[in-house]
Amino acid sequence: MTEKRLLVVDDQLEMSDLVRQVAESLAYEVWMASDGKEFMRAFDKFDPTVVMLDILMPGIDGIELVRWLKDRGYGAKVFVATAFDPKYAKMAESIGAAEGLDVSYISKPFEVADLRAALS
> Residue 1 CA to chain centroid, in angstroms?
19
Q: Rounded to the nearest 5°, which phi and psi values hold at 2? A: -80, 170
Residue 50, SS3 per DSSP:
strand
Superfamily of 5-119 according to CATH? Response regulator (3.40.50.2300)
Instruction: Give the distance between the most distant pair of CA atoms in the chain.
Output: 36
DSSP annotation of 64 reads: H
d(CA 82, CA 26): 22
- Domains of the chain, by residue range, sit at 5-119
Task: Encode the chain (120 residues) as per-residue pLDDT tens digits.
Answer: 689 999 999 999 898 999 999 999 999 999 999 999 999 999 999 999 999 999 888 899 888 999 899 999 998 899 988 777 777 777 777 877 877 888 888 888 888 999 999 999
Residue 43 in contact with residue 7, Cβ under 8 Å?
yes
Q: What span, in angstroms and rounded, lies between the C-alpha atoms of 60 and 36? A: 5
